[in-house]
A and B are shown apart, each in its own frame.
Chain A
Amino acid sequence: MPLALILPLIPTLVEMLGRIVNAAMNSGEATADQKARLAEIAKRLDETDSAVQALEIRRV
């Protein structure tokens, strides 16, 4: 296969492989602490979103 055909594909391949490695790395790695932290952030985001929606925007 000519090099000119392969070269443009390299960034896509790297991105694809990176995502596969990322998924493999993270699937078993998120510790209980990290999961708890993410759950806590998710809960906080819901509260912040409620505050965002509750903010009064005056009609002027």
Chain B
Amino acid sequence: MHTPIVHPERTKVALTRLVAYMLLVATAIWLTACTSVGGFVITGETLDAAGKAFVQVGQTYNRELDAKRITVDQYRDWAVFARKFQQAYPSSVQLWKSSVAVNDAALTKKTNEIITSLVTELSRLGAVVGVQVLPGAR
């Protein structure tokens, strides 16, 4: 039978590392958990602002088409996106409502991804008719 040799310095280093890893993991868990009510509010407000911006851009496109200040091709480009937006928007609203109801940060993340892709395209099309789309603006 042999007694294990204990090196106090090595044990200290190992313990320090263990504490550091535990702190790192705890911080990561805390950050993941931090999508609270505030996150739902921001996503909801952004979704609302995106919908309002869509209506504003759409009305401008209609006006500009009537005034013949944009081409039919430019309008067609808008119309293709607008139909997609009209289909995607109610689903995004529903997704947001579900994320609030079940308190799920992952669903909020999904909603954010959808909004981001819609707003990016909306911004491009808004620029054609001189409408600036600002996500988060009310």
Contacts and interface: CB of A to CB of B under 8 A. Distances in A.
Interface of A: 10, 14-15, 17-19, 21-23, 25-27, 29-30, 34, 37-38, 41-42, 44-46, 48-49, 51-53, 55-60
Contact of A55 (B40, B41, B75, B86): B86
Contact of B48 (A25, A38, A41, A53): A41
Nearest to B41: A37
Contact of A19 (B37, B82, B106): B106
B86 A52 contact: yes
B8 to A, nearest CB: 24
Nearest to B71: A60
Nearest to B96: A45
A57 B28 CA distance: 46
Nearest to B31: A18
Contact of A45 (B32, B35, B93): B93
Contacts of B65: 58, 60
Contacts, number: 110
Given A38-B44, A41-B48, A55-B55, 16 more contacts: A14-B29, A19-B32, A19-B105, A22-B32, A26-B37, A37-B41, A42-B100, A48-B48, A49-B51, A52-B89, A56-B62, A57-B58, A57-B79, A58-B62, A58-B65, A60-B76
A55 B44 contact: no
B86 A45 contact: no
A46 B44 CA distance: 11
A58 B123 CA distance: 20
Contacts of B55: 48, 51-52, 55
B25 interface: yes
